[in-house]
Amino acid sequence: MVDDSHSDSNALFSGSTSGALRLALYTMAAVALLVADHHGRYVDTVKDKLSVLTYPFLTAVQLPVRAARWVGDSVSQRQELMSRTEELERRLLLTQAQVNRMEALEAENQRLRDLLESSPKLGDRVLVAELLDVDLDPFSHRVVLNKGTSSGVYVGQPVADAGGILGQIEQAGPLSAFAVLISDPNHAIPVAINRTGLRTIAYGTGQTTELVLRDVPASADVIQGDLIVASGLGGRFPRGFPVGEVTRIDNQSGNTFITVWVDPSAALDRSREVLLVWPGDHRLANVPEPEQP
Amino acid sequence: MSRRRVSFGLIAATFAAALALTVVPLPDSLVWFRPYWVAMVLIYWCIESPEQVGMGTGFTMGLLLDLMTGSLAGQHALGLVIVAYIIGRIRFRMRFFPLWQQAAVVCGVLLNDRIIYTWIQGLAGYGVPDWRIAWAPLVVLFIWPWVFLILDLTRQRFRTR
């Protein structure tokens, strides 16, 4: 940290040349890093290693926040807790009923697949991870998870929440991982329109409330309210996970493609707990068996 | 300059506090008003102890920020190096400015920094700049005098020991 010892020490203007020189050097170094990080994978590996340094710091910072929230929870009214339990029980009942129906459907689906002699769909394994209670750069659509490579997390792994696909792992350190959200402007996810099966790609827009489909032909059958799911193409995101719902369609006559705006199903800016998903066909060696939720 | 050196521990502690304040969660409505703490601490030390803190420190702290907040490596570093350079050039004048005038200069430097930051964002494909980036430097306009005084008191306190 100690530097600049010789500049500006005796006169107003001396040292300004060496200052400008150093500015140029540091700027070049920063730009080189920026370019390397934007285009290459090398910087990511270094970042993964260095996350060992920053993760304890982030954890320490969020401890008081965690503690405050915990105190808030423990002094919350009995009435409130009871009504919350009731609400949760009601939702559990509903979900259970749906799961039971799903199981029947899945069995039926399996029988049909057997008839068609197509490959069986294996169940996805999941692991619950918590997001650290820290604010990152408001521009970078990224979150920090409290699980890392020691739990079997890998780069490119899909991350979901109760609503649907949230994003994917971008950097994985031993104990923590950065996930990039599907709303990041540089992120794209292969999707399909659930009703019609039309395959396309959902791009992030930089807003956590919107995704955009740019490659939909003008002749395609899309209506407001259509459910968008992951298509599973590319083999990264598990097929069938919800991605969002069509909110509006920009259809200017004369254009070959229409622009479709999608409201993400996952709570991109509000989730506290997320699911790390091991898609059914992804096999990993030496991975501790993740818990079943 | 015959001023005494400031202890390395004190400088490190103020930067650590600034880093912590940077990631402490705020309600969503306040996210855009979060002052650029690390830059403020950097500016203070660039004015008060330029022998110890300068562009190198700016670069290091910037890289740490990039690591912590998941931005592109070098993004914060580039901005902070430029901040340190500008302050290094005008610090003699700044030392004699009244606090409010200092605050205005700091606000201007940080606005400039935000513009560079958005420019990099644009090059990296993050689309149109968001005018809300101007809020944080404006907040700094009002809190700089206090930050300056607190840091100054801390420094003098540790010097007398």
The CATH number of the domain holding residue A257 is: 2.40.10.350
- Full domain range(s) for residue A241: 188-264
User: Which of A10-14, A109-113, A164-168 is predicted least confidently?
Assistant: A10-14
Report the pLDDT value the prediction gives residue A229, as an integer from 0 to 100: 92
Query: What is the structure's pLDDT at A123?
Result: 60
Compute the distance between CA of residue A170 and CA of residue A96 in angstroms, rounded to an integer: 33
Domain tally for chain B?
A: 1
Q: Which of A12, A36, A58 sits opposite B23 (nearest CB)?
A: A58
**How long is chain B?**
161
Assess if residue A71 is contained within a domain: no
Structural domain range at position B114: 8-160
Query: What per-residue confidence (pLDDT) applies to A286?
Result: 39
Confidence of residue A182 (pLDDT cuts 50, 70, 90): very high
* pLDDT surpassing 60 at residue A124: yes
Number of folded domains in chain A?
Answer: 1
Q: Which two tokens stand for residue A152?
A: 């079997």
Q: Does B140 touch chain A (CB under 8 A)?
A: no
Low-confidence ranges of chain B (pLDDT < 50): 1-2
Best interface-test mutation with B: which of A7, A13, A14, A54 has the largest number of B CBs within 10 A?
A: A54
**CATH number for the domain that contains residue B128:** 1.10.1760
Query: CB distance from A210 to chain B under 8 Å?
Result: no
Nearest residue to A262 via CA among A120, A147, A174, A164: A164
Domain assignment of residue A216, yes or no: yes
Mean pLDDT of A39-68: 82
Tokens 């910072």 correspond to A61
Q: Is B147 an 8 Å CB contact of chain A?
A: no
Q: Is the pLDDT of residue A14 over 50?
A: no
- For residue A107, what pLDDT band results from cuts at 50, 70 and 90? confident
- Whole-structure pTM over 0.80, yes or no? no
* Residue B160 confidence (pLDDT): 59
**Which tens digits make up the pLDDT trace of B42-77?**
999 999 988 889 899 999 999 999 888 888 888 899
Q: Identify all chain B residues contacting A130, using CB atoms and an 8 Å cutoff.
A: none
Would you give the end-to-end CA distance of chain B in angstroms? 21
pLDDT of residue A11: 45
Q: Which of B5, B52, B68, B81 to mutate to test the interface with A (most CBs of A within 10 A)?
A: B68
The verdict on residue A237 lying in a domain is yes
In a domain, B60, yes or no: yes
Domain-embedded: residue A87: no
Q: Which residue has the tokens 């560079």?
A: B116
SS3 A172: strand
Residue B35: predicted pLDDT: 92
pLDDT tens digit sequence for A187-242: 999 999 988 989 999 999 888 889 999 889 888 889 999 999 998 888 888 888 89
Tell me if A231 is assigned to some domain. yes
